[in-house]
Amino acid sequence: MDVSAKMGEIGASLRRLRKTANLTMEAAARQAEVTKGYLSKVESGVSQPSIAVVSRLADVYGVPLSDVFISPGEKGPISIVRADERRPINRNGSELGYVYEVASFNKANPRSEIFFLTLPCIEDVQLPRFRHAGEEILLMLEGRIRFDFAGTEMILGPGDCIQFESSFEHNGVAIDGKEAKAFVVITPERST
């Protein structure tokens, strides 16, 4: 599937979820901290939203992030996603080389969002700092990263695992001259 078709599917899904939540475009945009014009472009398939924007919209609409990628009627009690079925998605930092792949998307009512993350090895660039509601687990698979959590830096390598409150600013970058790979679980805070 080409990028424009994928953007169109995500936009149509976000429009459907907004209408199901009975929100105007203006109200949804305000709550998700984006402009109405940008949300219109996303819903019409003109702009590809970052995972941060999609996640905020899912929170605003009261649905799991995976509902944006697959309709609830197609979900079941188990999700099996083969390696070649992972869905790459845009995220803040994509322009620097961060690559997120959705690792599970067809389980009904998931409590967590699961990704494979490739972290770039970049130097002399101001890295974006991420901050969102919920909790995050990062398990290093390959390579080493310099991880900054609330101003404290640490080095993580294969097999190292970190679990943290994601409402604190955080980011990571691969070191040693090569990209790194991690398995990431994000458990959003959801109002029930």
The domains spanning 3-72 and 77-187 adopt the same CATH topology: no
**What confidence score (pLDDT) does residue 149 get?**
96
What class is the 3-72 domain?
mainly alpha
Question: Domain segments of the chain: what residues?
Answer: 3-72, 77-187
Cα(113)–Cα(134) distance, rounded to whole angstroms? 11
Q: Tell me how crowded residue 105 is: count the other CB atoms within 10 A of its CB.
A: 22
Q: What are 4's two structure tokens? A: 């424009």
Superfamily per CATH, domain 77-187? Jelly Rolls (2.60.120.10)
Q: What are 7's two structure tokens? A: 């953007």
**Contact predicate 58/89, CB 8 Å:** no
Which DSSP string corresponds to 25-70?
HHHHHHHHTS-HHHHHHHHTTSSPPPHHHHHHHHHHHTS-THHHHS
Tell me the β-bridge partners of 102: 87, 115
pLDDT digit string (tens) for the chain, length 192 residues: 444 455 568 889 999 999 999 999 999 999 999 999 999 999 998 887 877 788 889 889 988 777 887 766 777 888 888 888 877 765 544 556 778 888 887 787 788 888 899 988 887 677 778 887 789 999 999 999 999 999 999 999 999 999 999 989 999 999 999 999 999 998 877 654
Residue 74, helix vs strand vs coil: helix
**What confidence score (pLDDT) does residue 94 get?**
52
8-state DSSP, 144: -
**What confidence score (pLDDT) does residue 3 get?**
45
Angle of the 25-32 helix axis to the 51-61 helix axis, nearest 10: 120
Cβ partners under 8 Å of residue 165, min gap 6: 134, 135
**Contact predicate 106/113, CB 8 Å:** no
